[in-house]
Amino acid sequence: MSDMRIFNLPSRRGWGNFLTHGALILICIFAMLPIATTVLISFKSQQDITRKPPVLFPCDTPTQSFALGACRWAVEGYQRVLAPKPAPDSLFGVSLTGNMVRTYLPNTLLYATVSSLLVVLLAGSSGYAFSRYRFRGHGALMTGILAITGVPLLTNLLALYQMGVKLRNSPFPFDDRVYIIVVYIGFFLPLSVWIAKGFFDAIPRELEEAAQIDGCSPFGGFVRIAMPLAMPGLMAVFLLTFVSVWNEFIAGYLLISKNDYKPAMFGLYDFLGQNIINLQVIAAACILIALPIIILFLFTRRTFFKAMVEGAVKG
């Protein structure tokens, strides 16, 4: 899998080939269909959403069931999510005032960026240490870290919730944002350490030894030689953590008490409560939150696949 030979293989001709393509196209349509319907719903107007029975396309007229020219596409779903207000001094003449873009999405971006950067840093350094040094307790620590991956977030959530309540009431300065970032790091770190160790194991240690003979310190060998060589692997760890944190719901929902600090997934769940029948608003919010991740995935898919397989094999 590491050589990614699935991407460019010679083709064979014939009926079997034709059927294979047909079946794969069907599967792809199945995979894309729910996304397509969500996009479709997000561009409908309220009166087309609340029609009984529902219509697929908002394109019917009293006389025709489908007329391309009569389509009533609307962006009110997006308008309700973004809530643009005219603001003459801003760049585009409008400022977006919706909670989703003002509060929830920036929070999610902050949590995902900071926690995945720190996960890379911590997993990189401890993965390197585990890969290059043999010390007392080496095996026990590695096994311990692997054992921790067996504790689901859901189990720890109860204790983390109570810890949060206690810390909030204590005289310590406490910030929901710092707390949730530490929790995310702790949750995604164990697997990342194993993945990072695997990537360092693949780098020949002679390179660092040569550098040390030339006068480089052990730490310098790690930062200047091993880190850059392991960069593709660390990038995979970063992306995997980023997407996981971006998509995480239950911890963000339960552990953050201040509304201003809640992440986008919470905002979405909240939207569901407020917009029981404004389906276009929910659809638009879904699209706006999923789009950045889908775009990120499309640009970095090879790195993703590598990390996925590596992570799956390690458990």
Among 109, 103, 258, 255, which residue's Cα sits nearest to residue 180? 255
The residues in 60-119 that bind other proteins, with binding defined as CB under 8 A, are none
DSSP string, 147-198: HHTTS-HHHHHHHHHHHHHHHHHSSS---HHHHHHHHHHHHHHHHHHHHHHH
Q: Is the CB of 82 or the CB of 281 nearer to other proteins?
A: 281
Q: Is the CB of 24 or the CB of 87 nearer to other proteins?
A: 24
HSE-CB at 58 with a 13 A cutoff on CA atoms is 19
Rule CB under 8 A: is residue 263 a binding residue for other proteins?
Answer: no
Q: Is the CB of 82 or the CB of 189 nearer to other proteins?
A: 189
Rule CB under 8 A: is residue 215 a binding residue for other proteins?
Answer: no
The span from the CA of 82 to the CA of 96, in Å, is: 5
Rule CB under 8 A: is residue 241 a binding residue for other proteins?
Answer: no
Which bin fits 252, alpha (ψ -120 to 50), beta or left (φ > 0)? alpha
Among 22, 53, 56, which residue's Cα sits nearest to residue 37? 56
Which of 66, 73, 174, 249 forms a contact with other proteins (CB under 8 A)?
249
Among 247, 249, 235, which residue's Cα sits nearest to residue 304? 235
Q: Is the CB of 87 or the CB of 182 nearer to other proteins?
A: 182
> What dihedral angle (degrees, nearest 10) is formed by the CA atoms of 101, 107, 108, 110?
120
Rule CB under 8 A: is residue 17 a binding residue for other proteins?
Answer: yes
Q: Is the CB of 87 or the CB of 295 nearer to other proteins?
A: 295
Q: Is the CB of 85 or the CB of 138 nearer to other proteins?
A: 138
The span from the CA of 198 to the CA of 2, in Å, is: 13
Rule CB under 8 A: is residue 180 a binding residue for other proteins?
Answer: no
Which of 47, 54, 66, 259 forms a contact with other proteins (CB under 8 A)?
54
Which of 73, 170, 171, 222 forms a contact with other proteins (CB under 8 A)?
222
Rule CB under 8 A: is residue 128 a binding residue for other proteins?
Answer: yes
Q: Which residues contact 72 (CB under 8 A, 6 or more apart)?
A: 44, 45, 48, 58, 59
Stretch that binds other proteins, among 73-81, 96-104, 168-176, 218-226 (CB under 8 A): 218-226
Among 101, 288, 265, which residue's Cα sits nearest to residue 256? 265
Residue 29 Cβ vs other proteins, minimum distance, rounded to whole Å = 9
Rule CB under 8 A: is residue 31 a binding residue for other proteins?
Answer: yes
Residue 24 Cβ vs other proteins, minimum distance, rounded to whole Å = 5
Rule CB under 8 A: is residue 27 a binding residue for other proteins?
Answer: yes
Rule CB under 8 A: is residue 123 a binding residue for other proteins?
Answer: yes
Rule CB under 8 A: is residue 23 a binding residue for other proteins?
Answer: yes
